[in-house]
Every structure is written in C-alpha cells, then in structure tokens.
Structure 1
Amino acid sequence: MRRLFKFSLPVLLLGGSIVVFLWLKASQVPDQPIEAIEKTWTVTTVSAQRQSLSPTVRLYGRIESPHESHRRTAISADVQQVPVLAGTTVVPGDLLVQLDDRSLQLLLRQREGDLLEIKAQIESEKRRYAADLEALKIEKTLLQLGEKALARAEQLARTQAGSAARVDEAQYAQHAQTLAIANRQRAINDHNPRLAQLRARQQRAKALHDQVRNDLERTAVRALAPGKVTAVHVSPGDRVRAGDQLVDVFDTRLIEVRAQIPNRHLPTLRHGLSAGTDIAATANIEGRVRSLRLDRLAGKIEPGQGGVDAFFSFRGHAISIELGRTIALTIELPAKAQVIPLPATAIYGANTVYRVINNRLDRVAVQRVGEYDNGEQGSWVLVTGDAIKEGDAVLSHQLPGAVDGLKVASAPTGN
C-alpha cells in the first residue's frame, strides 16, 4: 500500500497542476489592445512670397592702402634725427628722417666751382674769337701792304735801282704774313668746335652739380601726402647705405578694404562692374556705419585662396583707421527676381527647408542666393527653388528631430 502511494503521488500532483492551469487559463480576462496616439508638434511658419530683392553678402575684409610707401635712402649717410614714431600722423612736408648733409655740402661747392671755371673758359673763348676776327682784318691789310712792297722791290730790281736782297726780304714778309693769316683763320674756324667742347663740359658739370643738389635734398626725407607712419627702421646715429629702408607711411586719403569674394557671387559682381552698376557695401566701424563701394576685382588668385579678392573704397571723408585691421562688410548685390526671403533659422543644413502640407513636414531642397536685411526682423536668407510654391507655409525655426512626414500643427507668423 505504501509503495502504491509512493508512485501515485507524483501522478496526482501533475494532474492537479494541469487542472489548475486549465482553470486559470479559462478564467483569464482577455487583453485590451493599446491604441497608439501620434504626437503633434506645434510649429511656426512663414508664407513663401516670391519677390525682387537685393541680396546681401557678409564678408570679412582687411584694411589696406594702395599708397603705402616704404621710404628708402638714395645716398649713404649718417642718420641725424628721426622726429617721428610709429603711429605719428603727418601732413605734406613734415620731416620724417634727416640725414647728415655736410659731405654733400662740400661736394656741392666743388661742383659749383667747376661750373664757374667752365663758364670763365667759355667767356675767354668768345673774347678770343672776337679778337681773332679783328686781328684777321689787320693781318689781311698787312698782307696787302706786303704785296705792294714786293711789287715795288721787284720793279726797282728790274731797273737796277734796287737790290735782290730787298726783293727777298719783301717775299719773306709776304709769305710770313700769308702764314699768319692762315693760322689766324684756322683759329677762327676752330672756335665753334672749341666752344661746343666747353659747353659739353659745362653740361656734364651741371649734371653732376644737379645730382649733388638732388642728393642734398634727399637728406631731408619728408611726407608727400597726409598720412600716418606705420614703422620706423632707423635711429639717430645709424649709418645707412643707398637702398636701406627708413620709414613706412601710408596716405590716409586712400584707404580701401580687401575682401575675398566667394566664387558663387563672382559672376554677379563682375557683371555689375562691367555694366557700371554701383555696388554698395556698409561696415560698422567703432559704432559708426560707413558706406563703401566696389572699385575693382583682383587680377590674380593667390595659391590657397577660395575666391577672388575685391577692393572697396570708402565714400565721403577720409577715415582714420589702422592698416591691417579686420572689419565685417555687408555687400548689397544687384536685385534678384523671384527670390523668397526666409528666416535664417528656416534653413536646415546648407540647402534644406521644410514645408507644412496637410499638417505634415515636407522636406525640399533650395538654393541660397544671399542674405537679406529684413529691418527689425534682422538678417534673413534669400532662396530660390522650383519645389516651393507661392504661399507655401515654410517652417520658420529649428525643430529638433524634424524629419519628412512629421505631424505638426502650424501657427503662421507671416513674413
């Protein structure tokens, strides 16, 4: 009996467990399905309106001057005084550097003496020429008298009233006078060449004199225009040689801004310059808005540059500003037709916006044209693209997790 109970107990327990499991399953309450509720995001939108607007481009430029001069010495001399420092404002005629001029003063007096000597030689040559002309007249008269004396001597010799010696003396006197006339005539003929040689020497001496005088003037290095000194390379007592750098100074009337133009804007700017369009720009310098205009584009792209350099000149009065300073420029490009202004926050990535269609986000690609100053609303972005239709509601802010098809509830804000 005990053995039968020992083997039947597990069977009873297993059967009881099956009965309990079947009862629990039969009495189980069926699960109710959970209905999924899609979240709706509240967003703000702007209405896409195609307009003709002037896009703006914000760039960073560097202050430069096309008339920044590096003054160098043309002579070898000692530096006597340097009355300016870096940052000194100068006007035309202000002394920048004074070189020692004593040796040049001595050389100048020597050149002046050479000129006076040659001038005296020219005057002497002219007087000699005048004297030769007068002497030639007298010598010709003496020749005529000698010829008459020879004729009388020959006549007397034929009549035996005179001697042959008298004839020889008369012939000798005639030949001597003829030779004297020839020498005098040669001296007269040589007058013009001698005078030309003296005048050539005079011109060479005058050139040397003027060269020394120019070098003497160069010992005083002066400002050529209103400007500002940017660097001083010498001090009193320094010895400088021809070509050594003295000071750097730039013309404050000729200040411009060099800025690199992205390649996508180059065709517009180049066409505007060719057509004579006034392409304006503005810059905020020390709290004051200054107006500029595009003057020209660079003719060369340096290695490593991502665009072409453009040069902007300031309108109105000269501006006092340091060379090399970096400023922000806002360039107003020629007007573009059929562009859509959107807040900068409406742009996702580089060229994506979201439309709201039937309370769903619709992702579309656009092309950025430039920025646009929308008054009190700040800087907007001008875009274009065939996918955006007139009046489309465009998401105007950055929505975390924005994806195509996301359910939203829009609250238009206009533009």
Structure 2
Amino acid sequence: MDPYAALRYKEFNIFLMVRFAMVFAWSMQFIVIEWQVYTLTKDPLSLGIIGLMEVIPAVSMALFAGHIVDQKEKRNLLMWCILGFSVISFGLFIISIPSVVSDLATRTILYTIYALVFLGGIVRSFIGPTIFSLIALIVPKKIYPNAATWSSSTWQMGAVLGPALAGFSISYIGVHWSMCLIFAFSILALIALFKIERKPILNPKIGEPIFESLGEGLKFVFSNKAILGALTLDMIAVLFGGAVALLSVFAQDILHVGAEGFGILRAAPAVGAAITMLGSTRFPIHKNAGKKLLLAVFGFGLCMIVFGWSTYFWVSVAALFLSGALDGISMVVRQTILQLKTPDHMRGRVASVNSIFVGSSNELGAFESGVTAKLMGTATAVIFGGIMTITTVGITSLVFPKFRKLDLQKDVEEHEAED
C-alpha cells in the first residue's frame, strides 16, 4: 500500500495542520500549567488534582458529546471546540500576568487554574469524537488505516514539540508569554480549519432519542471483542503506568535538571512514539496485531520500572523514549481497530467511549500518580505503576486468549477491495 496515500488528499493535509496546532497548543499548555502549579504548591498531589479536574467533565460529558457529534456537522463542531479552547487559553494567559500573580492569593490563582482546566475537560469531551469522525469524511475507506496512522503520528509530533518548547519557553520567556504563544497556535488552527469544507451528516437516525442513541453506542462497543479488548488493555496500562504527571517532581527534586530538562523529559516519550508511528506508515503492523499490542504494553511497563529506579538524567530520558516507542505501537493498533470496525454513523459515540477508556485515563492516571506519590513516594509510585501494567498484560493474555490471535490484515484487505 502507498505509505503516502492519505497525504494525496488536500483537505487531509489541512486537517493534519489543524490537529498538529491543537495538540501542540494543548500539550504545551498542560506542561506550563503543571510547572506553574507545582511551583506554587510544591505538592505532588496538586498535579494529580489537575488531572482530576479534567477527567471529571471529560468522562461525565463523553457519551452525550458522542451523541451530539453523530447528530451534527463535524467541521463546524470542531470550529466551536477550538474556539472554546482559545477562550480557556486566553483566560490562563490573563491569570498568569505577573502583576495579577503578585496581587492575588496563591489559593485564588490555583483555584482559577483548576476551574479553567475543568472547562477544558468539557471541550475535550467533544474534540476527540469530532476529530475521529471528521477523518472518515475526508478520505475514502480504503485508506482509513493509512489516514489513522498519519493522524496519530501528527498527534505525537505535536505532543513532542509542545512539551519540549514548553520547557524552553518557561525558562526563556516565562509562564505568562508561554500562555500567549499557546493562544496564538489555537487561533492559527481555527483559521486553517475554514479551508476544509462542511461535511454531510451520515447518521440515518437524526433526531434519535438521546438515551436510545447512547445505549446503541455502548452496546456496540461491549459486543465487539476486538475494540473492547484494545480499549481495556490500554486504559489500565495508561492508568497505572503513566509517570508523565510526576515529571515536574522528577525534574525539580530528583534529577535536578530545571525547566529545560523538564521539557526534554516530557518530550522523550512523544519522540519515541512519533518515530514508531512514522515507521508504521511504511511498515504496517496489522498482522498479528493482538500479540504486538500485548508485547508493546508489557515493554511499556518495564520502561516505567526503569524510569522509577533511575537517578541519572539520560537513563531516565532513554526509558521514557522507549516507553513512547512502545506506546506508539499500542496507539496505532488501537486507532486502526477503531477505524476499521466502527460504522460511519456511530463514530462519534464509539470515539466517546474510547475517550472514557483511554483518553480520560491519562488524567485519572495523573490523579492516581499524585495520590500514590503522596502515599509512597514519587519513585516508588512509578515503579508500582509499571508492575501493575505488566500484571495487567498477563491477566489480559490469560482471560482473553482470542485477543492474542487478533489479526487485522483481512479487515484491511476488505476495505481496500470496497473502493
């Protein structure tokens, strides 16, 4: 298959630009917030609360967002999502003005940041399903796997550069002007989005009662063993194996590398994932996808254990890099499963369930990491998470033996034949 098939469609290239700008801005913003909050509090639990503030609205709104996405036109819905993010980033820009920081109590600033993160969780509950649904309206079915890989790779590129630049921008221009840069990228994404035409609504059940619609989406996901297995495995791995939320603690108090080192640590897993994903455009990983997913998550857990034990900066960077490379395999497999096995009229709802299982587990994992770090120490919490991830792989392999045999090659060939 042509590794550049999806890139031959103009609107898909514009879509990638929009996605990159948004992921770049969002990931950079999260890093700047983490740095600012830990600087204000010196409490790892406060980093967990950031994740909790985003996961509560993201989970509670996710299914309703999926229903709305399946009922509405996708391009304009994404426009409103980006506009909402822009308002939030502008609010963070205002609250980080040095004169405002000096005049307000620390608690007031902290609670305002938490409130804006909470609003961001609402926006995120819509943006994931909207993007997932829009891809299928831009490219033909026969190149869904290729498009999913490029989309995931672009996501990772944004996640690489956003944290890396955040570390350097905090060091050189400060938190306030870093927030200004984030706001500028969100506006650029909004402008670029208008170059994509509005898309038709493919749902044959427009106006369907909301609870009937939600029930249909949940029933589909829980009856599809491939989708359910991939989501469950990734959710638990991310929930227990994520050390990312504690990187500001490692940077400041364990490795002593400052803001620039923090940016390198935060970018390392995304660099690894981006390399894996770009490689998968030329060397697809559809065959024996189940085994590859299980092995990738097992290796991810080992990397987290090494990172937790390490007190050497470059060993820590290497462990995070390898964890990202393995996580990239997991992401490509999961996104390919979702694109190939989800009907067009249910993409919003299925993507919303995905956001509950996987996307929100990042923030819930941040809360779990903050709590365990408070209770057992930062390094021990990361090691514990790695052990739980490996245990999860073993249980999944034993309980769902059919998942080990999952192979997507036939599904890919069927979609190619349709066009």
Q: TM-score, normalised by structure 2?
A: 0.18
Name the larger-Rg structure: 1
Greater share of residues in helix: 2
Q: TM-score, normalised by structure 1?
A: 0.18
